[in-house]
């Protein structure tokens, strides 16, 4: 593949493989308005007629290559599933969303911080919390799996990967801190625990490169040398960060049991299809683990686009179903 950018041999080989197997060009686009994690706009999900990987103008060298590689691997996962008409995305419908929003409302009423909030705030956060979990589930498993592949198969990118993941970990784990006092603790813990579990798995795989999110997230550092008995007898037992660690450890253990594929094997269509089914399995197991198995469904990308287009109308109908008509 010819590229106007200076790319490493491993990335050029991956892009050539993707072009052959997907029978379509992978377009690289450097822009100033792209976030640090980059963007993948592919035809399988967005029906654009082309596959575009965009990365930030500020990313250079191996950091740029790492970002492109991660998105190219995700593109191959989608493409191999789409070739067999198997590609689905985590989605929702008015029926399952109502069950989820009703549970969110019950959690708002049970939480001592949010139960006395103004009614307009309760309405405001209902659909936001439901879609917050959906967005994490739609992105996180594939992000994790692609990072594991990079760690296993692209040693030249590991230093850039570690640098990026440390920054990403801090951002993800503190994303909800500004609104921590306006949402039920359950959702703060669940959101952070998913990213904590991701970080723990990657820390284990990349331990020789000193990726250790428990050390690099200050709120979790205090728990490193405490055993269970000490935690339960200290004030930390009421801390949302304590609960994040406990739930995150359980999620990380589940990840270890689920990710059993040989990710160092040569690339093949079966390799990427196995990654796809592994990602679906991760989502399904996490949902069962936290009692949300009835909240979301797997839909075709076409159907999911229709659902997203009806978002404002759906949100209004869900709020009316939970709170009653205004």
pTM attached to this predicted model: 0.91
Strand partners, 274: none
SS3 of residue 276 by DSSP: helix
Please state the rounded mean pLDDT for residues 94-119: 92
Q: What secondary structure does DSSP assign to 129-181, as a single string?
A: HHHHHHHHHHHHHHHHHHHHHHHHH-GGGHHHHHHHHHHHHHHHHTTTGGGGG
Least confident of 1-5, 180-184, 311-315: 1-5
Task: State phi, psi for 41 to the nearest 5 degrees.
Answer: -115, 100
pLDDT tens for 14-64 read 999 999 999 999 999 999 999 989 999 999 999 999 999 999 998 888 999
For 101, which DSSP code? H
pLDDT tens for 130-145 read 999 999 999 999 999 9
Please state the rounded mean pLDDT for residues 165-184: 89
Least confident of 76-85, 129-138, 228-237, 264-273: 228-237
**With the CA atoms of 133, 138, 143 and 145 taken in that order, what torsion angle do they form, in degrees rounded to the nearest 10?**
110
Q: Return the pLDDT at 228.
A: 56
Q: Return the pLDDT at 211.
A: 56
């Amino acid at each position: 593949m010819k590229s106007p950018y200076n790319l490493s041999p491993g990335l050029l080989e991956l892009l050539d493989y993707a072009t052959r197997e997907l029978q379509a060009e992978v377009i690289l686009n450097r822009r100033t308005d792209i976030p640090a994690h980059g963007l993948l706009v592919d035809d399988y999900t967005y029906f654009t007629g082309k596959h575009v990987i965009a990365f930030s103008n500020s990313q250079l060298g191996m950091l740029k290559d790492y970002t492109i590689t991660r998105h190219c691997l995700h593109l191959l996962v989608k493409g191999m599933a789409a070739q067999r008409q198997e590609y689905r995305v985590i989605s929702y419908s008015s029926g399952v969303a109502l069950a989820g929003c009703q549970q969110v409302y019950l959690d708002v009423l049970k939480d001592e911080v949010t139960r006395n909030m103004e009614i307009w705030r309760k309405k405001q956060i209902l659909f936001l919390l439901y879609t917050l979990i959906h967005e994490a589930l739609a992105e996180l498993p594939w992000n994790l799996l692609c990072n594991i592949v990079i760690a296993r198969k692209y040693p030249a990118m590991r230093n850039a990967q570690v640098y990026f993941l440390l920054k990403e970990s801090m951002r993800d784990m503190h994303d909800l801190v500004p609104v921590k006092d306006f949402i039920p603790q359950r959702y703060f813990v669940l959101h952070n625990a998913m990213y904590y579990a991701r970080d723990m798995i990657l820390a284990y795989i990349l331990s020789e490169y000193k990726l250790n999110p428990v050390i690099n997230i200050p709120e979790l550092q205090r728990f490193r040398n405490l055993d269970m008995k000490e935690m339960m007898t200290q004030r930390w037992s009421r801390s949302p960060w304590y609960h994040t660690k406990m739930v995150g450890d359980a999620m990380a253990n589940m990840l270890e049991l689920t990710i059993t594929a040989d990710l160092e094997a040569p690339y093949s269509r079966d390799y990427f299809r196995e990654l796809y089914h592994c990602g679906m399995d991760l989502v399904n197991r996490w949902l069962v683990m936290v009692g949300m198995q009835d909240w979301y469904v797997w839909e075709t990308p076409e159907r999911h686009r229709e659902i997203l287009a009806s978002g404002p109308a759906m949100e209004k109908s869900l709020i009316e179903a939970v709170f009653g008509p205004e």
